[in-house]
Amino acid sequence: MTQHTRLALTTVGAALRPYAFLPVFWFLLASCAGTLDQQAARGAERVGCVSELRHLYSFGSSGTMPGQFRSPSSVRIDPFENLLVADTGNNRIQKLDASGRFLMEFGAPGSSAGNLDKPTDCVENGLRIYVVDSVNERVLEYDTEGRFLSVCVSSESLSDRFSSFEPRKIAFSQTGYVFVSDADADALIVFSRFWDPLSVVGGFGAGDGRFREPGGMAVDARGGLLVCDTGNDRLQALSSTGNFVGGIPVCSGEPGCEPVDVAVGPGGLVYVADAGLGRIMVLAQDGSVRCEVGAVNGERLLHPCSVAVSQKGLLYVLDGGSDEVHVFQTSGLAPEQDSR
């Protein structure tokens, strides 16, 4: 971890205030009532997802050819149910269909316009693809055909407000704000839809609303934000403007646990990638761990680093250790079937 920098906190405009109390992740409303001991007890009751999370198929392998990966960082789903994969080691973004068939790629090694150096996340929003170009310390905008359009924000453009900028993950709220995690500051920077910096959420620490290595983020239909607070072994729920709402210590004090990415399914359940212990955890409505899966066809997950859930109920798990994508059917995990 580099030396943490105190970021200048800009004043959020009055336009933000009407959104401050928008509904957020409803499944977290009772989460703060559980103590660490209660979470540990729940952990002892966890069962495998064999009967509930059915593996369908896998695709991908290590390499540089189309459809192959080298240490990928994230998998996301576009509006047409295609996949966008941040192929970090190959300095490119790949688009594949739901079966894993290669569709296109864009990006090339370098720092010039449109080139990439270790991209760590990519999200399609409003017919644009936004890529976190981590080593070059910037967020880039492309059209849906992979043609470079612009640099949205960079360490250079932010130098008058922030002493450093090390972007890692990105999320768009339903109310038009953009959240970018900053690895150096252990914080989220909130931007307007026009990429004007509005505020900084968090900073290094273990208290409510503070972070240690913020990871992947997920936004639900109501506009709330769920953030993997990796270094603190928990998830944090924020409002659509970044106000702290609640948290869940999902790891139950287990050594080595690293929640690095999160996705919200169409039924409201939450899927967490635990890269440290090589598993996917499924969280129920109250934040308790419903079940977990750590192997596919008898082979352990090596480094599950990203998860995404389609509207059709397909769960995509990106394993950065094996350079594969594993696909599961989640239909057996509908909340009304919870027998607890």
The bridge status of strand 197-202 relative to strand 214-219 is unpaired
**Strand order from edge to edge, sheet including 244-248:** 214-219, 225-229, 234-238, 244-248
Cβ atoms of residues 223 and 240 within 8 Å: yes
Host H or E run for residue 129: strand 128-133
Q: Are strands 289-293 and 47-48 parallel, antiparallel or unpaired?
A: parallel
pLDDT at 1 over 60: no
* pLDDT of 58 strictly over 80: yes
Instruction: Give the HSE-up count for residue 45: Cα atoms under 13 Å, Cβ half-sphere.
Output: 9
Distance CA 330, CA 268 (A): 12
15: CB partners within 8 A, 6+ apart? none
Locate all alpha helices (DSSP H) within the chain, ordered by sequence.
Answer: 36-44
| pTM: predicted TM-score of the whole model, two decimal places | 0.84
Taking CA 301 as the corner, what is the angle to CA 282 and CA 44, rounded to the nearest 5 degrees? Answer: 45
pLDDT level of residue 23 (50, 70, 90 thresholds) = very low
> pLDDT category, 52, cuts 50, 70, 90?
low
Locus of tokens 């336009």: 15
- Put residue 282 in one of left, alpha, beta given phi > 0 → left and psi -120 to 50 → alpha: beta
Identity of the amino acid at 167: P
Note the pLDDT of residue 22. Answer: 36
SS3 163: coil
In this prediction, residue 11 carries a pLDDT of: 36
Residue 71's pLDDT is 97
Stronger pLDDT, 173 or 27, i.e. the higher one: 173
